[in-house]
Structure 1
Amino acid sequence: MDNGFFVQAIIYLSAAVVFVPIAKKIGLSSILGYLFAGIIIGPFVLGLIGQRGEDIMHFAEFGVVMMLFLIGLELDPHKFWKMRKFILGMGSLQVIGTSILLFLLGVILYDWSWQVALIIAMALALSSTAIVLQTLKEKSLSQTSMGRASFAVLLFQDIAVIPILAVIPLLVSANASIPLEDLNQSIISDFAAWIQTLIVIGAILAVYFAGRYIFVPLLHVVAKTRLQELFTASALLLVVAVSYLMQLVGLSPALGAFMAGVVLANSEFRHELEGDIAPFKGLLLGLFFIGVGASINFQLIIDDPIFILVFGLTLITIKFLVLFGIGILYKKQSDQNFLFSFGLSQAGEFGFVIMSFSMQLNIIPNMLANQILAIIALSMLSTPFLLLINEKWIDPYFGVKEKADKKADTIEEQHEVIIAGFGHFGSTIGRLLRANGVKATILDHDSERVDLLRKMGFKVYYGDATRLELLKAAGAEDAKLFIAAIDNPSVNLNVVEIIRKNFPNLKILTRARNRIDAYELIDHGVENIYRETLYTAVHLGVDALTQLGHRKYSATRQGQRFIKYDEASIRELAAKRHDKMAYLVTAQEQIELQEQILKNDLYTNFEAKDHAWDSAFLKREINNDDK
């Protein structure tokens, strides 16, 4: 069978298109869909791609390279400094604690040499940044206590890869059985191990300073051309060049990509580059997960299933216990702690990098290294199932039981109004309603925020508003209004879908960040949509007109009419947004019509009473008459 680029691309993309929607349809994460797609098309099932997964991992490595570039690009130094105690504290405890336990397990139980045990322990101590970040995004947990803790640990792990890869060459000289001619050749292979380590560290420092003082100024030159595609080309040049440099000194190209991202994280071009590359991020991660699924060597599992399954289960258990202990030490709520511990209990993509690097140096026997790679892939495959088990069986019982002792999750009363999401947006609505004597049943999915709001005097219930049983307990069947005020637009839309399907008589008032969110809500038949950007922008525009000398009443009236016409036009635009040409023509027509109507309104029904309540205008008129 022809395994050319186009055939491989068609197979990869077809597998993703088929299996990911199936996984989402049955309630699983997209990650599982990609992993299963890789297993099915891989060399050990249908055999459509790859021979023993070797060429597949080239695809996977390219996905990791671009993913790590984006992770480095999003590494905000200010956020890092704010979270330094969590990053250094939680991260170091997890990596060091897990590595020590796995090291002792390898030396004592499996009788590995200390070099082999140390490398395997360090490789398996690192969790999957790709899986965890994707899971946090899909489940809208990024801003929760668990999300922040996970990000802190993952960030420390990503940084820890640098010294781990730098230290590995030092272990070569300690293993006398390795012939020097069998080592992976690089431009520094002939140097002593300690000199190689210094060169590696020097290369990393050179990347940082060269990027900051050479590449960022070069981007200023590129910016003057005003050619958007040059930014993408420049970013790719940096990624490829730095990745190649890392490869020359014997390190992983993925590490170079991460360094390239960090270099640009401080620049003023960061967000523009993110916007250019972000559309490819999901696809590249999907290719990575397909590669991981296809690389699982089922023959190794069949040959020695006891070792792989027992060691894999032991790995997950050790990491879970270490993470859970850290969560207790940092006083995490049990529901958040279970999510935190299950979410990071797998090995990660950096394990592939470290094990491959060690195989090239012949520190670890190929058979053992391949078994460890299979364990890493299986542990990554198990993560969505572990989170599903936690969601279905552990959280509803253990979590609710703990909350029941505090009378937190048991909804004891029902009101005519239900508010889902009580962040800055939802709490403003809740305070306004409460000030006017309207009681509401308030739901929020962040347990720490729930505790804080209760201390402030609000009666807030912890729970996931996407769960039908919780909505029923909150009185959705008898309520009059449901206010969807959740921060995450996709979760907000999901809640609206559930309400429309199961409680068709319940009137929905929903939050939307912008036009794109509003279009999706309109497609679901929602009438009352409140765009954050619209009302704030109009309010500012009204104040701007007033400051420029316009009568306040007229400016306010024009602002209200602008909102009225804009809300009418958005429904017409929603129906045509999938046809780009028709959308642009309609948008232009609506803008011109709206401006003309507002101009006509300004001179229609103009009466003196229009400014009767505007005291500033009256004072000016009186002063002018006196003169």
Structure 2
Amino acid sequence: MHGALPATLILLAAAVLAVVACRQLKLPALLGYLIVGIVIGPNALALLPNSEDTSYLAEFGIVFLMFSIGLEFSLPKLKALRHSVFGLGAGQVLATIALTLPLAWFGHLPWAASVALGGALAMSSTAIVSTLLNERVELNTPHGQQIIGVLLFQDLAVVPLLILIPALANPAGGVIEALGWATFKAIIVLTILLYYGQKLMRPWFHMVAKQRSKELFIINLLLVTLGIAYLTSLAGLSLALGAFLAGMLISETEYRYQVEDDIRPFQDVLLGLFFVTVGMRLNFATLEQQWPLLLLFLVLLIPLKALLIFGLSRLMRSPSSVAWRTALSLAQAGEFGFVLIALAHGHQLLPPNLEQALLGAILLSMLVAPFLMQKRDALVRRFVASEWLNESLNLTQIAVQSMLARNHVILCGYGRSGQNLARLLEREEIHFFALDLDPERVREAAAAGDSVVFGDAGKREVLMAAGLSRAQAVVVTFSDTHMALRILSHVQALKPGLPVIVRTFDETDVDKLKEAGAVEVVAEVMEGSLMLASHVLMLLGTPLNRVLQHIRSVREERYDLFRGFFRGATDDSDDPSEQDQPRLHSVLITEEAASVGKSLGELRVAELVEIKAIKRRNIKGVEPSDEVVVNVGDVLVLLGRPARLAKAEARLLEG
């Protein structure tokens, strides 16, 4: 026991360091686990033995991964994406397997090994691609929907491959019989579980949930998942197939989302251990001898897979730009390739030298995937001559629709938050111009008369076409820090001092966003807690004015902008109290300004207004103390009444 503890501690420490490094480099955590396995495995530092117990425990990672895929299995989702799933997805998997069959003749491999090889290479990385699509806000684009459809079929194709590969491991004379017997058993097990499981699962989970015990709920979840997996293994099928069926059964109940949250820690930890064991199998001594084969696999994998997917996508009448984006996004191999190779190796279908070359090629292709996605648009413009024209036409349409807009608000995203904000702006007769990447939403909203166009707000030229130079504010209405930082970077480069308000989920990235130039960051969790507190206080009998006072005081402490606002042309009002209300005002220091080279203490601006912030070199990070010297290009954000703001601006610019 004590002898195993140091190795376990080394494994945990190495995993933490590797995953942190991958997060910093914007790479998936599974690559960190693979690197850990390579470093501490028996073929490198030999800090952790590649024992049968470790491999058996790692198999549970695949069990929980297949369970999660089962949870995502949805007939309505399959129906919505049926052309991409059963057209492009099925064609890609079958064609990849068919193209690897000639290796049985040229590479002197058994045809069963070629099928296993084709199945492994047909997979793409769901973890990497879906994460990058989400970060780039491309899930609802035409190529995003096509990519998700292909990934969905690949995930589903793993299930029959998990049945097929063990059957192919039988002697040549008994393959057909073994495969037929395995298929027959799978049909019987599927029929029994899906028929009776549907009737038993909901009342069983309902009974457990009535006990109101989280520990009992998780124990029951493990019992159901591992129990069904064990039943399928008794029938001669895989544990992973049983876990997939368990996920399918639970996905039809109202407990699906709770189950998904509860199972994630088990899945992540055990799946991480699986990838560590994959890395432990990599033998650099063998790879060094087999480097021509590794290079051949890597060179053939990405270009040929991309060309295959592009051709199939074009056969389905997709535009060239969509087909290329889909192909380049799915050109790498994936984590299920490791699963299928491990299964084939366990049944001795693949020789060790071929297994090592495959593992190395899959790992390197996954490392290349994020960089390929970054350069994808540039490659598409090189491959598709009309792409430049299409982008120019799109920018022209945006520019034409925004041409007459002055002092408008640019809304980045037109989801629920963006639409609610747009309605409030319309009531105040403030013009807005919205950019969104969901073509269906844009079509519906534009048909209804809303000022919204299809465009990526993360692109510099799109913001310029939307009239950024004439806008009075920019609002990022979706909760995506990565995209918000990109928008802030463009705004600060094109029009320093333009107020940008950003929405975020919680307060984790508030400082990062403010340092990037956001005037204010609105956290959903904060606003939700304030609304919850106001309702509770009202129901407990607290007077309305006191409730509003509490909410206002918290907001003033949390949100500086609640103590003022930027004035625009649409702010005119006949109410004298509104005209004299404190507001925010940005002053850009030019070369001719009298305040250049002087300290804030010398200028005595603080006697007139409050200096809220100083933006220098597009970074809001200078504390407005008396010792700060004003430089050319600084933007001073002032808070005060209109008359005092005018005096302060005159003092800064004219002296």
Asked if these proteins are the same fold (TM beyond 0.5), I'd say yes
Q: Indicate the SS of the match to 1:506.
A: coil
Partner of residue 101, structure 1: 99
- The 2-side partners of 1:469 and 1:82 are apart by 33
Answer yes or no: is 1:205 the counterpart of 2:191. yes
Answer yes or no: is 1:160 the counterpart of 2:157. yes
Partner of residue 555, structure 2: 567
Report the CA distance shift for 1:237/1:509 in structure 2 as closer, same or farther (over 3 A). Answer: same
- The 2-side partners of 1:255 and 1:47 are apart by 33
Report the CA distance shift for 1:397/1:57 in structure 2 as closer, same or farther (over 3 A). Answer: farther
**Higher relative contact order (CA closer than 8 Å, sequence separation 6+):** 1
Q: After TM superposition, list the pairs within 5 Å mapping 1:520-539 onto structure 2.
A: 520-521=509-510, 524-525=513-514, 528=520
Q: Indicate the SS of the match to 2:395.
A: coil
Partner of residue 481, structure 1: 473
- The 2-side partners of 1:360 and 1:27 are apart by 33
Partner of residue 462, structure 1: 455
Partner of residue 620, structure 2: none
State percent identity of aligned pairs: 32
Report the CA distance shift for 1:60/1:453 in structure 2 as closer, same or farther (over 3 A). Answer: farther
Q: CA deviation at 1:226?
A: 1.1
Partner of residue 147, structure 2: 150
Q: After TM superposition, list the pairs within 5 Å mapping 1:394-543 onto structure 2.
A: 401-408=388-395, 416=407, 417-427=409-419, 429=421, 442-445=434-437, 458=451, 460=453, 462-463=455-456, 465=458, 479-486=471-478, 488-491=479-482, 494-495=485-486, 498=489, 505-512=497-504, 516-517=505-506, 520-521=509-510, 524-525=513-514, 528=520
Q: CA deviation at 1:227?
A: 0.6
Partner of residue 120, structure 1: 117
Larger deviation, residues 395-404 vs 263-272: 395-404
- Does the CA contact (< 8 Å) of 1:404 and 1:410 recur in 2? no
Q: CA deviation at 1:357?
A: 3.4
Report the CA distance shift for 1:225/1:425 in structure 2 as closer, same or farther (over 3 A). Answer: closer
Partner of residue 306, structure 1: 292
Q: After TM superposition, list the pairs within 5 Å mapping 1:209-288 onto structure 2.
A: 209-279=195-265, 281-288=267-274
The one-character-per-residue Cα deviations of 1:397-447 (angstroms, maximum 9, x if unpaired) are 969624345253898579654332233433554576579775556544557
Report the AA paired with residue 117 of structure 1.
Answer: S
Bigger helix fraction: 1
Q: Indicate the SS of the match to 2:506.
A: helix
Report the AA paired with residue 149 of structure 2.
Answer: A
Q: CA deviation at 1:470?
A: 6.6
Query: 61, 71, 74: which one pairs with 2:72?
Result: 74
Report the AA paired with residue 403 of structure 1.
Answer: N
- The 1-side partners of 2:85 and 2:256 are apart by 23
- The 2-side partners of 1:338 and 1:65 are apart by 34
Q: After TM superposition, list the pairs within 5 Å mapping 1:306-455 onto structure 2.
A: 306-332=292-318, 336-390=322-376, 401-408=388-395, 416=407, 417-427=409-419, 429=421, 442-445=434-437
- Does the CA contact (< 8 Å) of 1:57 and 1:295 recur in 2? no
Alignment length, in residue pairs?
Answer: 546
Q: CA deviation at 1:483?
A: 0.7
Report the CA distance shift for 1:256/1:297 in structure 2 as closer, same or farther (over 3 A). Answer: farther
- Does the CA contact (< 8 Å) of 1:106 and 1:117 recur in 2? yes
- Does the CA contact (< 8 Å) of 2:125 and 2:334 recur in 1? yes
- The 1-side partners of 2:411 and 2:488 are apart by 16
Which residues of structure 2 form unaligned runs of 5+? 561-655
- The 1-side partners of 2:389 and 2:486 are apart by 26
- The 2-side partners of 1:415 and 1:293 are apart by 58
- Does the CA contact (< 8 Å) of 1:41 and 1:294 recur in 2? yes
Q: CA deviation at 1:484?
A: 0.7
- The 2-side partners of 1:524 and 1:306 are apart by 47
Q: CA deviation at 1:264?
A: 0.6
Q: CA deviation at 1:77?
A: 3.4
- Does the CA contact (< 8 Å) of 1:358 and 1:364 recur in 2? yes
Report the AA paired with residue 65 of structure 2.
Answer: M
Report the AA paired with residue 77 of structure 2.
Answer: K
Partner of residue 11, structure 1: 10
Q: CA deviation at 1:121?
A: 1.8
Query: 42, 58, 61: which one pairs with 2:59?
Result: 61
- Does the CA contact (< 8 Å) of 1:98 and 1:318 recur in 2? no
Q: Indicate the SS of the match to 1:311.
A: helix
Which residues of structure 1 form unaligned runs of 5+? 179-190, 549-553, 573-627
Give me the TM-score of the superposition, normalised by structure 2: 0.69
Larger deviation, residues 147-156 vs 229-238: 147-156
- The 2-side partners of 1:112 and 1:100 are apart by 14
Query: 124, 129, 142: which one pairs with 2:126?
Result: 129
- The 1-side partners of 2:369 and 2:533 are apart by 49
Q: CA deviation at 1:75?
A: 2.4
Report the AA paired with residue 225 of structure 2.
Answer: V
Report the AA paired with residue 506 of structure 1.
Answer: L
Q: CA deviation at 1:354?
A: 3.2
Larger deviation, residues 281-290 vs 14-23: 281-290
- Does the CA contact (< 8 Å) of 1:511 and 1:530 recur in 2? yes
Report the CA distance shift for 1:144/1:13 in structure 2 as closer, same or farther (over 3 A). Answer: farther
Q: CA deviation at 1:371?
A: 3.7
